[in-house]
Structure 1
């Protein structure tokens, strides 16, 4: 059985998720697991896809970066799949497919994962350089503090005795941010 896994980093990437679903269906995936979460976040649907897979199945992804965040992560996932007798197939590899049922496929996937990890490191380096330059020129504003903008809502709910975890859930902010806002208000900050 072919099992598909599709992932985008954010909810705004709906077109990318749809394209992955289409490619996985075209590849013959009978069951597809999908999620919109950063690769560094908890990937529940990836875990569900791996748990669902049985010996002789093939997990199919469109690109290696949809599955793993680094070469080490890719190798760990491949080892888990191999231990279950499940193959991995990557569709979009410059017109070719990579299938880990063969030694050549495993080697190619490892090499391509290393290239992708290298590209990401270069991109992050360029991003850091751009931020440093913008800061030096006084043009860098940084990310808008989303939790602080909801401070009044946090304090109002806290006054109504809503638990901090529930406040965080309702407002879509981190629990630590809720405690920071409440603590700042109690200190008179």
Structure 2
């Protein structure tokens, strides 16, 4: 019996369109995380790792959707192929089975390193651009997710024992942003939603 074709999709923000990543792929199941690639502790990725079986194929749009650094990428591919799972990266047209040639392993390392390098360069340019904009007085930072009144109300409700997941959903913020607001002194509105 042939294994399942399982898709893995990761988007960094709630408003990104995850549909396009594996468009046109015929899949039996899809696991979708809405989280930063920096965090290897993603719930859907963990469930994928638990449920993938010998003979299955995991399809990912590109290497940077699975992991943001080379060590995590190699570890995840090794974990999956060690279970007899085939890993396909659609954008790079690469397939890994665990019985890969030295050339395939080199390609994984080189392309993974390039993806990590590209991400670092983008982050560096972004930080430089923000610093220059601040010097010119043109950078005001991201618009706050909540007004000071909403932030105070959020803190009160959380202290009263309301579920944080429900509060985050109600206020339209991520759980990380909620925790940033809760770490602020009462009345402070300095919390800011983190990007990627």
TM-score category (smaller protein): 0.7 to 0.9
Are 2:6 and 2:28, in contact at CA under 8 Å, matched by a contact in 1?
Answer: yes
**Cα contact 2:151–2:181 (8 A) shared by 1:** no
1:179, distance to aligned residue in structure 2 (A): 4.9
The CA deviation string for residues 117-158 of structure 1, in whole angstroms up to 9 with x for no partner, is 111111111111111111111111112333563234236647
Instruction: Name the counterpart of 1:32.
Output: 30
Alignment of 1:139-154 (within 5 A): 139-147=138-146, 149=148, 150-154=150-154
Match of 1:8 in 2: 11
Q: Which runs of 5+ in 1 are unaligned?
A: 185-189
In structure 1, distance between residues paired with 2:63 and 2:108: 8
CA RMSD of aligned residues (A): 2.5
Report the Cα distance in structure 2 between the residues aligned to 1:37 and 1:5, rounded to whole angstroms: 13
Q: Which has the higher helix share?
A: 1
| Pair member with larger Rg | 1
Moved more, 63-72 or 98-107: 98-107
- For residues 125 and 148 of structure 1, the distance between their equivalents in structure 2, rounded to whole angstroms, comes to 30
SS of equivalent residue, structure 1 residue 115: helix
| TM-score normalized by the length of structure 2 | 0.76
Higher relative contact order (CA 8 A, sep 6+): 2
User: TM-score, normalization: structure 1?
Assistant: 0.79
How far apart are 1:71 and its partner, in Å? 0.6
Separation in 2 of the partners of 1:155 and 1:74?
38
**Does the C-alpha gap of structure 1 residues 72 and 66 become closer, same or farther in structure 2, counting only changes over 3 Å?**
same
Aligned residues: 174
